[in-house]
Amino acid sequence: MGTEAFVELVCPDCRKHWESTPSKLPAPDQSFDCPDCGTRRRLAEFTRTSLDLEVVRDATSRGSAGGESS
């Protein structure tokens, strides 16, 4: 397999910016905690761009069938 994509995340509260691979993240509608300030929100609120959100959605829909009914 090729290399896994990465997504850019930004905390809406403290503005911490970091990157992660989608396989290490929960689904976009699940809770996620900022590793810096501890703010808890839906992961979708941390994605920097709509493309980052798409990449996470695609990865989580392939990785697990739970949660979505498409």
Q: Whole-prediction pTM value?
A: 0.81
Domain-located, residue 12: yes
Number of domains in the chain: 1
Domain-located, residue 53: yes
Strands annotated E in 6-63: 7-10, 17-20, 31-33, 40-42
Q: Cα–Cα distance between 70 and 2 in angstroms, integer?
A: 27
Domain-located, residue 51: yes
Residue 67 has a pLDDT of 41
Domain-located, residue 68: no
Residue 5 has a pLDDT of 86
Residue 4 has a pLDDT of 76
Residue 11 has a pLDDT of 98
Distances from the Cα of 8 to the Cαs of 63, 65, 68, 69, in angstroms? Answer: 19, 24, 23, 26
- For 2-51, what is each residue's pLDDT tens digit? 677 899 999 999 999 999 999 999 999 999 999 999 999 999 999 999 99
Residue span of the structural domain in which 20 resides? 7-63
Tokens 């979708």 appear where?
44
Domain-located, residue 25: yes
